[in-house]
Amino acid sequence: MIRAKDITFSYGSELVFDKTSFIITEGQKVGMVGPNGAGKSTLFSIITNKLELDAGSIETTGTVGYVPQEVKQDPSLEESLSVRDYIDPEKQKSDFELKKLLAGLELDHVALLSKPKILSGGQKTKLALARALIQEPDLLLLDEPVNFMDSAGKRFVMNFLSQYPKSLMIVSHDLDLLDEHIDKVLILNIQSKKIETYAGTYKKAMKLKEEQEEHFKRQVRVKEKHIEQMEKSLLKLYRNKSKKGVRARMQHIKRIGQEKSALPAMPTAIKKFKLDLPEPSRIAELPIMVKGINKSYGDNKVLKDLSFYVNRGEKILITGDNGAGKSTLIKIIMNKIKADTGTVLIKENVQIGYYSQEFETFDFSKRVLDTVMEECGIYEQKARSFLGRFMFDADNVKQRVGTLSGGEKTRLSVAMIMLNNNNLLVLDEPTTYLDPLSQRIVLEALKEYKGTLVLVSHVDEFVKELKPDRAFLMPEGELITWFSTQDY
């Protein structure tokens, strides 16, 4: 199915893969994990011939299908005139069959003739999965398929994995997903630049990896003690001043040097970015007031007479199912789209730091460095230094924003929020593309943040730890209601 042999790939001087190999056989369900920046999306781009290897080879047999991390950037979705055209471009299925499939995805309210680009991130991902189900490629690549999913969507993906009849590779930070219906795990080692293969589920793979690493560390410690003993015995040889003693001493020094050069290095700690949100300036008592907002797309009424206010210093959660209108509401607040009726009042001294899950505020054709310099009004040296804190090195800053992974775009967004003098944060699913370690960094920073926060999230554990002051529930097409976060 896939045979990768001694593959090497770099972005500029940054090595991503170094002479590494792996095999995927017919019918295998493979999970792929690794920290942000390890090369997961890059490997998918190599498999789908969007990127060329520096060395080595990848052989694939049969058809390959790909559901990308950012479905919004899929031209076939954005250009499709209807949902039907997108999910079944070859017209293999009847309308009845397509409606039945959409109902299984909890998209029964989505008309076949509606435009897919108006849907939410989670709904677009579901459409991409529906398209994959119809086409049924021999190898299906899924890059973070549950990123924008509500709990019902996640259940669908788990069921999808169990029923898909052919080979499948899935990248996910959702560890529950990788412990269901997965029989092989590829771990991308960001330090060694190798792809490590383990049989079984994610938990089994991580247990075996931890055991191997502990065994390796014990071996290194044994060799280090052996070298210490050799160095102690060398002191005794220095007491022998004869020619024979000198020769023995020189041979001993040589052996010590050989032992030291052969000593493998201990694994280094994984790099992580630093996030210290600045102390915000004081703002009005009610910095945001929303009154009577209505928004429809054709016959689909997304928001219906929504009204609420945000208190100074308050942490507010907005949550709800896919398609409930959460991102639409945020875009109206940020004046990215217009409401049909209603008003949004933002007080004059409010400076909003905005994170969009779809990154529509970025110009994907610009370099990372130019983006920060222009948007934040700073000189090159300061921009390079600050980006370094977010794991963008001298080569990364030269990349076009559009070539970055979702995790890298998230780090760039957060860096720019920190550089600007914001006193209120509006964050639409900020953990979507982040690995568990990076999610923890963002969580701790938001817990300590002294300013006002409006957060969209469906990650239960993240929300429970953050403990927002109020939670706004958005049932689809209905009024916002709010409740104590103890009931969340």
The pLDDT value recorded for residue 53 is 95
Closest CA to 235 of 221, 245, 224, 223: 245
199, burial (CB in 10 Å: exposed 0-12, middle 13-18, buried 19+): exposed
Sign of CA dihedral 102, 108, 109, 113: positive
The pLDDT value recorded for residue 25 is 93
The pLDDT value recorded for residue 57 is 94
The pLDDT value recorded for residue 320 is 82
The DSSP letter of residue 22 is E
Strand partners of residue 198: 185
The pLDDT value recorded for residue 63 is 92
d(CA 352, CA 130): 37
Contacts of 356 (CB under 8 A, 6+ apart): 330, 331, 336, 413, 428
Closest CA to 102 of 124, 120, 74, 80: 124
455, 317 contact by CB (below 8 A): yes
Strand partners of residue 2: 24, 60
Structure tokens at 153: 């969507």
In this structure, the chain runs to a length of: 488
d(CA 432, CA 89): 29
In our burial notation (b when 16+ CB lie closer than 10 A, e otherwise), range 272-301 reads ebebebeebeebeeebbebeebebeeeebb
Question: What 3-state class would DSSP assign to 411?
Answer: helix
C-alpha pair distances (Å), 89 with each of 75, 84, 98, 137 = 14, 7, 12, 14
d(CA 133, CA 141): 12
185, 32 contact by CB (below 8 A): yes
Residue 444: what are its φ and ψ, rounded to 5°? -65, -40
16, 9 contact by CB (below 8 A): yes
User: Euclidean distance between the first and final Cα of the chain, in Å?
Assistant: 45
Helical (H) or strand (E) element with 189: strand 184-189
C-alpha pair distances (Å), 469 with each of 42, 67, 307, 321, 334 = 39, 37, 18, 21, 22
The pLDDT value recorded for residue 285 is 92
Strand partners of residue 197: 186
How does pLDDT run along the chain (488 residues), one tens digit per residue?
A: 899 999 999 987 789 999 999 999 999 999 999 888 889 989 999 999 989 999 999 999 999 999 887 776 677 777 788 888 888 888 888 888 888 888 877 787 788 888 887 787 778 888 888 888 888 899 999 988 887 777 777 777 888 888 888 999 999 887 777 887 888 999 999 888 999 999 988 888 888 888 888 888 888 888 888 777 777 777 666 666 666 666 776 776 777 777 777 777 766 666 777 788 888 888 989 999 999 999 988 777 888 889 999 999 999 999 887 778 888 999 999 999 999 999 999 998 899 999 998 888 899 999 999 999 998 889 999 999 989 888 888 888 998 998 888 888 999 999 898 888 789 999 999 988 888 888 888 999 999 999 999 999 877 778 888 989 988 888 765 656 665 555 55
d(CA 208, CA 70): 32
DSSP letters, 265-314, are PPPPPPP-----PPPPPP--SS-EEEEEEEEEETTEEEEEEEEEEE-TT-
What is the strand order of the sheet 55-60 is part of? 14-24, 2-11, 55-60
Contacts of 55 (CB under 8 A, 6+ apart): 6, 7, 8, 19
d(CA 401, CA 410): 11
